């Protein structure tokens, strides 16, 4: 395709139209392309791989906000936040080929078995209509597709049948400091699975230690979904960028076309036999709401009234401080040890949570050097004082699905195409807030055992979202209880699937994307079966 004006017209006789080119859409497209005519539409651009260093420079320079790194923001991405807590949506996503994995951290865990049976096992939340066993083979495949470096030293992880595709990253120097304290306290540490190459994998480089994984890996060692978009395209899929789908046209039980806009101001209709909506946990719900009709006055596929409801994220809990010895932080941008020991103690009172031992505590000297009114020897003195002895722990906590935490449409504000913008109405349950305190207690005890002077605590008041958008088109065997069935196919429309963490009925506390990937592969199989 030429750089000037690529052909953005629709494809005749397509079998499958995938909306969204993040990991979910990319994996579906890649899996179906061998035997089917697949079209992928994405709202954002194709990013030039040669620009990654310049994007890294944006990540380091103080003049740019995080959303600037991948050109998020402006009218296209306008949003509202009407809930109890502000939700910084544009820090939490990327639009374009590759989706939010361009920015992500790349930590990839499987959910635990009990996460699929929260109501039964823990007395709160909603059971999934599928079990860990249903996803287990797809998890293994997802780990191969993304390229996961991991080890089998985690006694708390759910059962697995084979080793990870790559060996785990070795523990860091600061992990060895934590290990002594944890041993003293009877707390277990173990490796953590990374979607990041510990050795060359799938024609991509091994990690070379740029240390800016989040928001950009210039080496391509961190997985992002351009891997699968490129592969699908190489096998014949058509990928159309800058093609935001405006609405899904439909009759009573089928989607008939995705209507998309292009930069030249025109609209096109992509018809297909099957549609897979993979716009992420916010825009998927929004697109369904925008596609309302006389037949579906509250939004497409919304006979249950649950589209947009039960919005969840994972909550951050953390403690940080300094030691009186060097801790060697900020060499790499990912962490290498975690603790899942407390995860399955979850019940109705306490949420599942996991703990992380950071390798990037405290300031990054190069970023610090660019702010402040000093230079020369004075600046160097400040950098030396600021760097070197920080330690920190993080953790993620599950929040329960609640109908009053939701994604809706803001009637008062429209985007660059005149569509109402998403309104994130985010609220958090008390169990989650209590669990943050519990996580803080453990984190604090570890840091105190280490002899750290504690400098900050991200507790219930200071918590923030981990940028995992879940729950807004929940999966339910009962058509009145959710948007999609156990196969991720919408109850209302026979030829429409959703591949996204938006289908999670309860979220667990593990980062969602490996589960998204496993579900996407499973969606592709179901689409293939029914076509």
Ligand X SMILES: Cc1cc2nc3c(=O)[nH]c(=O)nc-3n(C[C@H](O)[C@H](O)[C@H](O)COP(=O)(O)OP(=O)(O)OC[C@H]3O[C@@H](n4cnc5c(N)ncnc54)[C@H](O)[C@@H]3O)c2cc1C
Q: Which listed residue (63, 186, 297, 418) binds another protein by CB under 8 A?
A: 63
The total number of residues shown for the chain amounts to 531
Print the binding letters for residues 454-493 with another protein: x by CB under 8 A, - otherwise: ----------------------------------------
Strand 274-277 and strand 496-498: the pairing is parallel
Selection from ligand SF4, another protein, ligand X, none that 416 binds (CB < 5 to 8 A by kind) is: another protein
| Paired residues of 406 in beta bridges | 425
Segment interacting with another protein, rule: CB under 8 A, options 118-126, 171-179, 300-308, 500-508: 171-179
Give dist(CA 181, CA 470) in Å, integer: 35
Are 11 and 39 contacting, i.e. CB atoms less than 8 angstroms apart?
A: yes
In 376-419, DSSP assigns E strands to 390-397, 406-414
Q: Which listed residue (10, 172, 191, 419) binds another protein by CB under 8 A?
A: 172
- Determine if 51 is a binding residue for another protein (CB under 8 A): yes
Are 168 and 191 contacting, i.e. CB atoms less than 8 angstroms apart?
A: yes
Residue ranges in contact with ligand SF4 by CB under 6 A: 196, 207-213, 217, 219, 221-222, 332-334
Smallest gap from Cβ 467 to ligand SF4, in A, equals: 17
Selection from another protein, ligand X, ligand SF4, none that 199 binds (CB < 5 to 8 A by kind) is: none
C-alpha separations of 10 from 19, 271, 373 in Å: 13, 8, 54
Give dist(CA 472, CA 399) in Å, integer: 14
Q: Closer to ligand SF4 at the Cβ: 392 or 499?
A: 392
- Determine if 84 is a binding residue for another protein (CB under 8 A): no
Q: Closer to ligand SF4 at the Cβ: 196 or 438?
A: 196
How remote is the C-alpha of 412 from its chain's centroid?
A: 28
- Determine if 180 is a binding residue for another protein (CB under 8 A): no
Residue ranges in contact with ligand X by CB under 6 A: 19-25, 41-44, 92-93, 95-96, 99-101, 103-108, 214, 244-245, 278-280, 283, 287, 467-468, 500-501, 511-513, 516
The size of the interface with another protein (CB under 8 A), counted in residues, is 73
Q: Which listed residue (100, 214, 350, 359) binds another protein by CB under 8 A?
A: 359
Give dist(CA 490, CA 497) in Å, integer: 6
- Order of strands across the sheet with 80-81? 80-81, 420-425, 406-414
C-alpha separations of 338 from 342, 343, 412 in Å: 11, 11, 44
Selection from ligand X, ligand SF4, another protein, none that 217 binds (CB < 5 to 8 A by kind) is: ligand SF4
Smallest gap from Cβ 219 to ligand SF4, in A, equals: 4
Selection from another protein, ligand SF4, ligand X, none that 516 binds (CB < 5 to 8 A by kind) is: ligand X
Q: Report the alpha-carbon angle 21-22-28, nearest 5.
A: 70
Q: Closer to ligand X at the Cβ: 189 or 243?
A: 243
Q: Which listed residue (136, 364, 433, 451) binds another protein by CB under 8 A?
A: 364
Segment interacting with another protein, rule: CB under 8 A, options 48-56, 316-324, 395-403, 498-506: 48-56
Q: Which listed residue (151, 379, 433, 486) binds another protein by CB under 8 A?
A: 379
Print the binding letters for residues 388-427 with another protein: x by CB under 8 A, - otherwise: x---------------------------x-----------
- Determine if 68 is a binding residue for another protein (CB under 8 A): yes
* Two tokens, residue 317: 């809990």
Residue whose entry in the numeric block shows the structure tokens 């429309």: 493
Give dist(CA 524, CA 514) in Å, integer: 15
- Phi and psi angles of residue 359, each rounded to the nearest 5 degrees, phi first: -110, 10
What 3 state SS string does 48-62 have?
CHHHHHHHHHHHHCC
How remote is the C-alpha of 30 from its chain's centroid?
A: 19
- Determine if 377 is a binding residue for another protein (CB under 8 A): yes
């Amino acid at each position: 395709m030429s750089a000037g004006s690529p052909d953005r017209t629709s494809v005749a006789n397509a079998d499958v139209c995938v909306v969204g080119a993040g990991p979910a859409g990319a994996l579906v497209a890649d899996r179906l392309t061998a035997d089917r005519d697949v079209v992928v539409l994405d709202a954002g651009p194709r990013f030039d791989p040669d620009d990654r260093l310049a994007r890294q420079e944006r990540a380091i320079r103080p003049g740019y906000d995080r959303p600037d790194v991948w050109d998020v923001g402006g009218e296209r991405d306008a949003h509202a936040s009407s809930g109890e807590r502000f939700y910084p949506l544009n820090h939490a996503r990327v639009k374009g080929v590759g989706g939010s994995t361009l920015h992500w951290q790349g930590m990839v865990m499987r959910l635990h078995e009990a996460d699929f049976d929260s109501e039964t096992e823990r007395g709160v939340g909603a059971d999934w209509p599928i079990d860990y066993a249903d996803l287990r083979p797809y998890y293994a495949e997802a780990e191969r597709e993304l390229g996961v470096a991991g080890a089998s030293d985690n006694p708390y992880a759910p059962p697995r049948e084979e080793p990870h595709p790559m060996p785990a990253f070795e523990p860091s120097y600061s992990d060895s400091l934590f290990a002594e304290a944890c041993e003293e306290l009877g707390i277990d540490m173990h490796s953590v699975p990374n979607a990041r190459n510990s050795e060359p994998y799938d024609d991509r480089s091994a990690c070379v230690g740029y240390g800016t994984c989040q928001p950009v890996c210039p080496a391509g060692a961190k997985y992002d979904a351009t891997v699968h978009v490129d592969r699908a395209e190489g096998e014949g899929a058509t990928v159309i960028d800058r093609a935001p789908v405006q609405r899904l046209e439909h009759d009573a039980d089928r989607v008939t076309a995705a209507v998309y806009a292009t930069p030249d101001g025109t609209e096109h209709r992509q018809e297909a036999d099957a549609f897979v909506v993979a716009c992420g946990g916010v825009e998927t719900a929004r697109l369904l709401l925008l596609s309302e009709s006389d037949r579906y006055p509250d939004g497409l596929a919304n006979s249950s009234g649950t589209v947009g409801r039960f919005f969840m994220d994972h909550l951050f809990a953390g403690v940080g401080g300094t030691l009186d010895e060097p801790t060697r932080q900020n060499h790499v941008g990912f962490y290498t040890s975690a603790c899942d020991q407390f995860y399955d103690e979850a019940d109705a009172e306490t949420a599942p949570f996991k703990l992380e031992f950071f390798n990037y505590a405290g300031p990054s000297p190069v970023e610090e050097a660019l702010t402040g009114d000093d230079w020369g020897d004075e600046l160097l003195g400040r950098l030396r004082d600021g760097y070197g002895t920080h330690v920190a722990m993080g953790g993620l906590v599950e929040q329960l699905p609640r109908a009053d935490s939701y994604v809706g449409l803001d009637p008062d504000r429209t985007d660059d195409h005149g569509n109402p913008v998403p309104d994130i109405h985010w609220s958090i349950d008390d169990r989650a807030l209590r669990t943050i305190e519990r996580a803080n207690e453990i984190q604090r005890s570890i840091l105190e055992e280490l002899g750290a002077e504690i400098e900050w605590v991200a507790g219930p008041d200071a918590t923030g979202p981990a940028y995992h958008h879940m729950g807004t088109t929940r999966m339910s065997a009962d058509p009145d209880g959710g948007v999609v069935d156990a196969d991720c196919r919408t109850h209302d429309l026979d030829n429409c699937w959703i591949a996204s963490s938006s289908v999670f009925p309860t979220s667990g506390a593990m980062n969602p994307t490996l589960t998204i990937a496993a579900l996407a592969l499973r969606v592709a199989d179901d689409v293939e079966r029914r076509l």
